[in-house]
Amino acid sequence: MSASDRPPNFGRGNMGKQLEAAIEKVIREDFPDAKLLAVKIKEDEGFDGDPILRITVIFQTTHGFDPKRAAGIVRRIRPALRENEVDAFPVFSFMSKKDAEIAGALQ
């Protein structure tokens, strides 16, 4: 994908609070037992040059984390992206609080 084919706001950090809130809402609904500590969203490009959103979810839970729910979150987040006219593909990473502290992702 060439620069002229990308959405006008791609790569400028202009996702908007509405999109960020919509993404966080879906995550909270999907993982009601987890305490969300942070949801970090970064615009990027995939290896093929297409736009992607790197979404890092940092959580704390005592009930465990359901990997089956995590595996299907892309399907559930796509409607929120379409509503906000975002064509970028979401790429999720999930980190526990402990792992995030080790990686320095909570700073």
Quote the distance between the C-alpha of residue 39 and its chain's center. 7
86: Cβ contacts below 8 Å, ≥ 6 apart:
7, 15, 19, 53
How sure is the predictor about 65, in pLDDT bands with cuts at 50, 70 and 90? confident
Enumerate the H helices of 1-107 as residue ranges: 17-30, 67-71, 73-83, 97-103
Quote the distance between the C-alpha of residue 71 and its chain's center. 13
pLDDT attached to residue 8: 43
pLDDT attached to residue 100: 87
Tens digit of each residue's pLDDT (9 = 90 or more) over 23-48: 999 999 988 888 889 999 999 999 99
**Which CATH code fits 3-103?**
3.30.300
pLDDT attached to residue 82: 92
Token pair of 7 as six digits: 């959405």
Residue with structure tokens 């706001």? 9
Three-state SS for 18?
helix
Say which amino acid occupies 81: L
Token pair of 66 as six digits: 């359901």
Integer Cα distance of 17 and 64 in angstroms = 29
What's this model's pTM, rounded to 2 decimal places? 0.78
